[in-house]
Amino acid sequence: QMQNLYELFLATDATQVEINPFSEGHYEGGEPTVFCVDAKLNFDSNAEYRQQDIFAMRDVSMEDWRDVAAEKEGLNYIGLDGEIGCMVNGAGLAMATLDIIQLHGGTASNFLDVGGGATADMVAKAFNIITSDPNVKALLVNIFGGIMKCDVIAAGVVQAAHEVGLKIPLIVRLEGTNVDAGKKILAESGLDIIAADDLDDAAIKAVASIKVNA
């Protein structure tokens, strides 16, 4: 039986095969035996092309609609239950942003990593997803430009803010490649953007903006 479980794990590109709980009992007139009462299986989404029959059974109605929408746009997004929307490039920086927001008394509404290859259009789509959450009271953009250029992000921020008709405070921290060009785009956009010098400053201003507008 354990060998069969292992073969199932490999054959289905599973990331988890869990049987819990077990129960001891017997059929009427039968010998005592062990029953598998419940099970949980997770599968590697990168293997969807190999496991089409399994992924065809996916029921997106049971998932967070924000996660589903972001996945369709190629964004790394996880919905949370806070009030500050976050758009960051890089998973490590995104996690640090969530931690710093909490340190200063705020809560994040999401984890969103736009990655290193984001375009202005992807940034606009990220804004749409974040701001469609009615719990979001402020939006923090935290970008460290390496592969991702600050001017591209800035153009996307301006485009997105106009498209969604942004009504909540927008806090932006840019640093790295083409940062001066990015800041110039934001400054000339006509948008009411709260500029931040670093991550700590950005988090403080994001939390304060919610209190001011409460």
Please return the burial class of 71, using the count of CB atoms within 10 Å of its CB with bins 0-12, 13-18 and 19+: middle
Among the listed residues 28, 174, 17, the one whose alpha carbon sits nearest the alpha carbon of residue 7: 17
- pLDDT tier for residue 214 given thresholds of 50, 70 and 90: low
AA identity, residue 134? P
For 18-61, what is each residue's pLDDT tens digit?
Answer: 988 888 888 888 888 888 889 999 999 889 999 999 999 988 88
pTM attached to this predicted model: 0.75
